[in-house]
Structure 1
Amino acid sequence: MTDWIRPLGDIGAHAAQPTSPAALDTTDMQLLLLLSRDARISQRSLARSLGMSAPAIADRIARLHRQGVIQGYGVRLDWSALGYPTIAYLTVTAGQGFEQGPIMTALAVLPEVEEVMLVTGSVDMLVRIRVRDHTHLRDLLITKIWQIPGIQRTETSLSIAEMKPKNTPADLLADMIHRAGADVPAEEPDGTPP
């Protein structure tokens, strides 16, 4: 008797774990909105915008870190300026009987891979990659992606245009604050807090 391999049996070991919602008040959300607009804003400026003391702001930021709400700070790059202008989306279908977790992990370690998502529907995964050009994409597919055990099929879609990047965290936080009936901190015309 052969053991049946469960394609999603070990997915928890490979996928990010969802967290429980943190208890946030309106001030926390306003603070997060200001930080999402400019992660380099000083605590003094945050305190001034929110009508609080700088130590109170520092305490809130530390608590939001401990709760896992703030996971880090980053920089937005112009990938075209760095020589990686091409975005491609791959749909990936795993072979029958192959566990999908190891395939996700093998894809995620490739430097060109930005995201790997397990999805519902006729394919198993959606992968967003960034490459220099079609030659780079071809090499990536042939020498790396198609060599991953368990990948049965891929389909590639190239991005031919994209909208100017938007600040989704700021948009969602502003909406949450607005729905809570609180004031959304103002933004200067240049995109910075007042």
Structure 2
Amino acid sequence: MPPRRRARSTASPSPLGNLSSPLGSLMDVAPEQSPAVPLDDVDRQILVLVSQDSRRSQRALARELGMSAPAVGDRLSRLERLGVIQGYGVRVDWSAVGYPMTVYLTITAAQGYQQATIVEQIAGVPELEALDVVTGAIDMLARLRVRDHAHLRQLLRQIWEIEGVQRTETLLSLVGLPPKNVVAELLSKAVGEPA
């Protein structure tokens, strides 16, 4: 399920917009925060098990939970419908597919520039893995996947051409730990505790 977005205004404001509120237009591109969904211990256990192996069948889940497969299917459908489960994915060895470099790029917008305009353009970069608008001395933090230094230079030129980007800083990852299963770590602790 794609993230929900707020409706856009039909007016086409200047990229500089209201100089006192460069963050104002971010609400147009930011996914709407979902309300908390009440989860019981079984919901949490299902989320932990599916996060460990999303290919696990409903029958296998049912055996581990001591439930019927249709009951597990109903639970999964409910969690999907409510947006708790937003999809199922695959973990890729990026080196094996030709993108061994992880690059973090800090981005500072020109003063007063509407950051939503920059966010929309950077979101269109295929190498972008994640983008966060942050507080502090910088405005955005991007995580990119690149093939090599030549690819990185080409990508940086593309980003520097985005109107409103005042400054960037490039950080190369030297060593990356395998991703943690945050779902299992956080929700396993919550099993048995009040939500």
The answer to whether the aligner puts 1:84 opposite 2:99 as a matched pair is: yes
How far does residue 4 in structure 1 lie from its aligned partner after superposition?
3.3
Post-superposition offset of 1:97: 1.8
SS of aligned partner of 1:76: coil
Q: Which amino acid aligns with 2:132?
A: M
Task: Provide the alpha-carbon RMSD of the alignment.
Answer: 1.6
1:75 to 86, 90, 93: 90
SS of alignment partner, residue 92 of structure 2: coil
Partner in structure 2 of residue 188 of structure 1: none
Q: Deviations over 1:49-91 (max 9, x none)?
A: 1111011001101100111000000000000000100011111
How many matched pairs? 179
Q: Partner residue of 2:58?
A: 43
Give the aligned partner of residue 131 of structure 1.
146
Report the TM-score, using the length of structure 1 for normalisation: 0.88
Match for residue 24 of structure 2?
9
Shift of 1:113: 0.5
Identity %: 53
Could you list the runs of 4 or more consecutive aligned residues of structure 1 that deviate by over 2 angstroms after TM superposition? 2-6, 178-181
Judged with a 3 Å threshold, the aligned counterparts in structure 2 of structure 1 residues 3 and 39 are, in CA distance, closer, same or farther, namely: closer
* Corresponding residue number in structure 1 for 2:184: 170
Give the one of 37, 53, 58 matched to 2:68: 53
Give the Cα separation in 2 of the matches to 1:65 and 1:153.
40
Does residue 152 (structure 1) correspond to residue 166 (structure 2)? The answer is yes
For structure 1, which segment, 41-50 or 170-179, has the greater mean C-alpha deviation from structure 2 after superposition?
Answer: 170-179
SS in 2 for 1:138: helix
**Structure 1 unaligned spans of 5+:** 182-194
- The separation in 1 between residues aligned to 2:32 and 2:129, in whole angstroms, is 18
Aligned to 1:149, the other structure's residue is in SS state coil
Query: What code does the residue aligned with 1:159 have?
Result: S
Q: Counterpart of 1:186? A: none
Q: Distance in 1 between matches of 2:162 and 2:87?
A: 31
Would you say the 8 A contact 2:41–2:192 is kept in 1? no
Matching residue of 1:189: none
Unaligned runs of 5+ in 2: 1-15
